[in-house]
Amino acid sequence: MLFDIIIWTGAGLSMAGLAGLVWCILRVNRARKAGLSDDELRSAVQAVLPWNLAALFLSVIGLMMVILGISLG
């Protein structure tokens, strides 16, 4: 029972991280299509970078929880 909770919580975190990564991709793609100058595009990408890293971290933590729950359960 406890390991099922760990697995499903990890799956939820992974899905939230994946949604964050998709959001980052869409945001950068929108900035690219806006026809911004190089400096403005670089600034837009730099603004998205911390969110991208946070989403990736969340996804990795979720996957680690899933693997831990499967291994111990």
- Per residue in 41-65, pLDDT (tens digit) is 999 999 999 999 999 999 999 999 9
pLDDT score, position 25: 96
Q: What is the pLDDT of residue 73?
A: 86
Report how far residue 32's alpha carbon sits from residue 42's, in angstroms, rounded to the nearest whole number: 10
Q: What are 13-34's pLDDT values in tens digits?
A: 999 999 999 999 999 999 999 9
Let me know: does 56 contact 24? Beta carbons within 8 Å: no
In this structure, which amino acid lies at residue 10? G
Q: Look up the domain containing 21 and give its range.
A: 2-72
Q: What integer pLDDT is reported at residue 48 of this predicted model?
A: 97
Per-residue model confidence (pLDDT) at position 68: 96
Number of domains into which the chain is organized: 1
